[in-house]
């Protein structure tokens, strides 16, 4: 149910699910230059989120985090994943079975590294988050394999 309105000269307004508000809220689409992103993010966060990089497995902030809370986009703060959907995939990256709401992410085909994968991006600011694979646990069978550098965590 992502609603998109872009009137001449007006900011794009989208509807996203907010965990804190337990419902949908209107937010502007975030658009920044590379220079603005570079000044707001660490070098690793910039490389991962804006250049579609990846971090090392088993050497990142959230691969083994077990606290209850919400994982948000490090660039714009949008709620992305709940800790209840996080599971141990054995890959060395934080893995989730589902996003907070389908509207909060978007996917795109990724043909890099001589393969075809499904990239996961933040629907509000287009940050590269990671990839989704069809080898996750039941019932959905999906594994959202995310980069810790693309996430921030807010403890419950």
Enumerate domains of the chain plus CATH numbers: 38-155 (2.170.150.20)
Q: pLDDT tier at 10 (50, 70, 90 boundaries)?
A: low
Q: pLDDT tier at 3 (50, 70, 90 boundaries)?
A: very low
Q: How far apart are CA 24 and CA 44, in angstroms?
A: 31
> Annotated catalytic sites, by residue?
145
pLDDT for residue 8 is more than 50: no
Q: pLDDT tier at 84 (50, 70, 90 boundaries)?
A: very high
Q: How far apart are CA 49 and CA 24, in angstroms?
A: 25
* Share of residues in the chain with pLDDT > 70 (%): 94
DSSP summary character for residue 55: P
Residue with tokens 């069978």: 141
State pLDDT tens for residues 105-143. 999 998 887 788 899 999 999 999 999 999 999 989 999
Strands 13-18 and 23-28: antiparallel
Across the chain, where does the E strand assignment appear? 13-18, 23-28, 69-73, 79-82, 86-87, 95-96, 105-110, 117-122, 128-133, 143-146, 151-155
Q: Determine the average pLDDT of the residues in 68-86.
A: 98
Q: Are 50 and 37 within 8 A, CB to CB? A: yes
């Amino acid at each position: 149910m992502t609603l998109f309105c872009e009137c001449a000269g007006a900011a794009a307004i989208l509807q996203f699910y907010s965990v804190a508000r337990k419902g949908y809220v209107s937010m502007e689409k975030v658009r920044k230059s590379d220079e603005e992103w570079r000044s707001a993010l660490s070098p690793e966060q910039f490389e991962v989120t804006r250049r579609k990089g990846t971090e090392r497995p088993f050497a990142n902030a959230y691969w083994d985090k077990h606290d209850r809370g919400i994982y948000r986009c490090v660039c714009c703060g949008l709620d992305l994943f709940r800790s209840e959907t996080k599971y141990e995939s054995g890959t060395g990256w934080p893995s989730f079975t589902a996003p907070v709401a389908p509207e909060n992410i978007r996917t795109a085909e990724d043909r890099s590294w001589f393969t075809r994968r499904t990239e996961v991006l933040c629907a509000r600011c287009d940050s590269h988050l990671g990839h989704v694979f069809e080898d996750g646990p039941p019932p959905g069978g999906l594994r959202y394999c995310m980069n810790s550098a693309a996430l921030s965590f807010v403890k419950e």
